[in-house]
Amino acid sequence: MSATHLHIHQALTQAIYTVLNKKVVISGVTYPVYKELPTVPITTYVRIGNIIDSDNGTKDDFVYAGSVNINVVDESHPGQTDKTIAYSVMNKVRSLLKTSRSNVITMTGFTMIHFTPDVSNEIIEEVKKGFAKIQLIDTYRFNIE
Amino acid sequence: MAKVNGTVMTIYSGADVIMWTKNCTLNVEQDLPDGTTKDSLGWEEHINGVRRWSIDFDGAFDVSGSGMTPNELIAIIIARTADATVKFGTSAAAATGWTGLATVKNMSISGAMEDVATFSGSLTGNGAITAI
């Protein structure tokens, strides 16, 4: 366990990125994964979203409990709200992040105790007249030491 | 007042700290046998009875650590290991706290799905507890 108080966000983001990057491939198409908002125009992508954590340790060490969002963004269907591609991408992401019930992600410098699918959400918004933006958001709970 | 951060309050078995605890509680009590008579003027009275003490604790389960781990406490119950001198205080060397001979009475380990495994247990005093 960790005896000093550290920041886990970068390590967790990088760990998820390592699992997903160049591996979200569907029908020969590789969907990009971003740790930040993409700076180039892209219609469909995965973004490792917000992380919230708090200390859940013991009197001897620090344990970090919290949640991380994985966003799938799809703007490939102007004027439509067809979620087929977005859900295909999210299903691929899920299969990579959780290969079994008890599977956890390998992190550099930390140990993940559990990594658990939590709530799932979808947001459809009109970003400009006639252009829809689909966002699927999966939230995972974790405990990291 | 000089408040104490509860994080530093820990349990020691000899020089070994009981590892991975989140909470610990020292309980000290005495029985109060009834001494009420017709001459008590309608007020209940009692005498001092048997005294006892115990320590309850809980924490996050871990098999490692350089101290007394939850597994080692279970092993003590299984082996009926002789009582150890226990200290409830801020450090093994601190000149404050409470100490006495105690027996590991019970230990529990819980594994909730997709959560940190936890443990809890208690020590029961065997004889007097004294202030250090």
In a domain, B6, yes or no: no
CA A130 from chain centre, in angstroms, equals 28
Residue B37 belongs to a domain: no
Q: Which residues of A touch B8 (CB under 8 A)?
A: 59
Q: What is the ipTM of this complex?
A: 0.80
Average pLDDT on B75-92 reads 91
Q: Domain count of chain B?
A: 1
Lowest-confidence pick of A100-109, B92-101, B103-112: B92-101
Q: Could you tell me the two tokens for B45?
A: 């009275």
Q: Which residues in chain A touch residue B114, judged by CB atoms under 8 angstroms apart? A: 114, 116, 141
Q: What is the pLDDT of residue A39?
A: 87
DSSP string, chain B: -----GGG-EEEETTEEBTTEEEEEEEEEE---B---TTSTT---B----EEEEEEEEEE--S--SSB-HHHHHHHHHHTPPPEEEEEES-SS-S-SEEEEEEEEEEEEE--TTS--EEEEEEEEEEEEEE-
| Range(s) of the domain holding residue B98 | 11-29+50-131
Nearest to B7 among A59, A116, A141 (CB): A59
Q: Would you call B131 exposed, middle or buried from its count of C-beta atoms within 10 A (0-12, 13-18, 19+)?
A: exposed
CB A60 within 8 A of CB A3: yes
User: Looking at chain A, which residue has its C-alpha nearest residue B67?
Assistant: A60
B40-57 confidence digits (pLDDT tens) = 999 999 999 999 999 999
pLDDT of residue A131: 81
Residue at B44 is within a domain: no
Residue B128 CA to its chain's centroid (Å): 13
User: Is the residue at B38 inside a domain?
Assistant: no
Average pLDDT over residues B75-101: 89
Choose the closest CB to B62 out of A1, A56, A143: A1
Task: Indicate yes or no: CB of A59 within 8 angstroms of CB of B60.
Answer: no
Q: Residue B86: is its pLDDT beyond 60?
A: yes
Three-class DSSP category at A44: strand
Q: Could you tell me which residues of chain B have a Cβ less than 8 Å from any Cβ in chain A?
A: 7-8, 10, 17, 19-22, 59-60, 62, 65, 67, 114-116
Q: Strand A44-55 vs strand A33-34: parallel, antiparallel, or unpaired?
A: parallel
Cβ neighbours, 10 Å, residue B30: 12
Residue B45 lies in a domain: no
* Least confident range of B6-15, B41-50, B65-74: B6-15
Q: For chain A, 145 residues long, give each residue's pLDDT as a single digit of tens.
A: 566 888 899 999 999 999 999 999 999 999 999 998 888 888 899 999 899 999 999 998 999 999 999 999 998 876 667 889 999 999 999 999 999 988 999 999 999 999 999 999 999 888 877 788 899 999 999 999 9
Q: Quick check: is B41 in a domain?
A: no
Q: Which residues of A touch B21 (CB under 8 A)?
A: 58-60
What's the rounded Cα separation, in Å, for the pair B11 and A69? 39
Q: What is the pLDDT of residue B91?
A: 74
